Amino acid sequence: MNNLIGKNMEKAIKLIECKENIFIVSHVNPDGDNIGSMLALASALKKVDKKATVLKADFTPNDFKFLTGYDDIIEYTEDLGAIDLLIAVDSSDEDRLGKNKVLVDMSESIINIDHHISNTMFGDVNIVDPKAAATGELIYDLIKRLGIEMDPEIGESIYTAISTDTGKFSYESVTSRTHKIIAELIDSGTDTYNINVKIHENISMQKINLFLETLKTLKTYEDNKIATVCITQDMLNRTNTTIEDSEGIISFIRKLDTVEVACLLKEMDEEDIKISLRSKNYVDVSSICEFFNGGGHTRAAGCSVNSKIDEARDMIVEKIIEFIR
């Protein structure tokens, strides 16, 4: 951790110590890192008698319902009181907060904790480290600096955050420090085996059916270096699933031996397509997504396109080909 991030953590701690009504928010289309980071921080702050409320941006993935505090994630309403401190985690900019973006202007102070290189530094205090494997690592550091002892409840959320955002510790962002954090979580009583079973070995038959339907849409380009799959609303209706059940599909496509870039297109509405990209060795997919006002990491990024799903696929493939060549 560099000196600037350390100094900003100290500033964040001073803000936390003097604020009463604290709200924790994160990005739309939530994943394990942002859900785990929010719940870990909320659990830790409650241990030092802080009022910490976790707010949802849209849906809350069922994959993480086993985490402590999952059922306490709610939408903001005025009767929750004034926002003394807003802590945004794993969100590169204010727009990523979705409907909670309006809370930025309603907050006395904002702490921004993230590991995306594209972060716009929108907080009064910014704890942003692109070298962190997951935002969960930064949450771990902050909790430690607050002097709060790790326990299994906090540990399960941090482990979930880090393990899901690193592809079960397989991405190149993982460092020896990542494993040292996990070692401490295990020493504190975190049941990592049980967490892995709940996240990775607990798939419904409906989700399997969606997976099979999605594979039928597989297309490859550039000597099979690029692979795309699509999920439509019709597919979701036929399999009785939701868009959150698509978790893990793109990682599977990325495993094809010839594939450098995997692309998953999700039809949110007829002309609202969410695109996820994953690369394996040399393509910076965050740069590709920036052309469509998206972003993310070198090997994992996303964006949105306002067009029909076939048109969106053609557009994103054209741009990927430029980078492949």
Asked which of 200, 225, 240 is the last residue of a domain, the reply is 200
Q: What percent of the chain has pLDDT over 70?
A: 100
- Can you give the CATH number for the domain in which 250 is found? 3.10.310.30
Q: Are residues 80 and 192 in the same domain?
A: yes
List, for residues 284-309, the tens digit of each pLDDT value. 999 999 999 888 888 999 999 999 99
Q: Are residues 52 and 7 in the same domain?
A: yes
Asked whether residue 244 carries a pLDDT value surpassing 90, the answer given is: no
- 304: Cβ–Cβ under 8 A, 6 or more apart, which residues? 272, 273, 274, 275, 292, 293, 294
Mean pLDDT score of the chain: 95
Q: Are residues 191 and 236 in the same domain?
A: no
Show the domain range for 240. 205-324
| Global confidence as pTM | 0.89
What's the Cα-to-Cα distance from 118 to each of 17, 194, 263, rounded to whole Å? Answer: 29, 34, 20
Asked which of 200, 224, 246 is the last residue of a domain, the reply is 200
- Can you give the CATH number for the domain in which 151 is found? 3.90.1640.10
What's the Cα-to-Cα distance from 47 to each of 121, 206, 242, rounded to whole Å? Answer: 28, 39, 35
Q: Are residues 257 and 153 in the same domain?
A: no
Q: Are residues 209 and 190 in the same domain?
A: no
Domain count, the chain: 2
Asked whether residue 124 carries a pLDDT value surpassing 70, the answer given is: yes
Q: Are residues 272 and 150 in the same domain?
A: no
pLDDT given at position 1: 67
Q: Are residues 48 and 155 in the same domain?
A: yes
pLDDT given at position 200: 87
Q: Are residues 195 and 133 in the same domain?
A: yes
Per the DSSP assignment, residues forming a β-bridge with 219 are: 228
Q: What are phi and psi of 42, to 5 degrees?
A: -65, -45
- 131: Cβ–Cβ under 8 A, 6 or more apart, which residues? 115, 173
List, for residues 213-224, the tens digit of each pLDDT value. 999 999 999 999
Determine the average pLDDT of the residues in 233-241.
Answer: 97
Place of tokens 């399999």: 239
Is 276 within 8 Å of 311 (Cβ atoms)? no
Task: Quickly state the pLDDT bin for 42 (edges 50, 70, 90).
Answer: very high
Q: Are residues 191 and 283 in the same domain?
A: no
pLDDT given at position 29: 85
The neighbour count for residue 244, using CB atoms within 10 Å, is 16
Q: Are residues 87 and 109 in the same domain?
A: yes
Is 304 within 8 Å of 274 (Cβ atoms)? yes
Is 253 within 8 Å of 292 (Cβ atoms)? no
Distance from C-alpha of 56 to C-alpha of 73, rounded to nearest angstrom: 6
List, for residues 138-155, the tens digit of each pLDDT value. 999 999 999 999 999 999
Q: Which ranges in the chain belong to alpha helices (H)?
A: 3-18, 32-47, 135-145, 152-165, 176-187, 192-200, 205-215, 233-239, 249-254, 285-290, 309-324
Asked which of 200, 219, 244 is the last residue of a domain, the reply is 200
Asked whether the CA dihedral 99, 102, 107, 113 is positive or negative, the reply is: positive
Determine the average pLDDT of the residues in 189-193.
Answer: 97
SS3 content of the chain, % helix, strand, coil (to 5): 45, 20, 35
Q: Are residues 102 and 219 in the same domain?
A: no
Q: Are residues 245 and 151 in the same domain?
A: no
| Burial of residue 303 (number of CB atoms within 10 Å: 0-12, 13-18, 19+) | buried
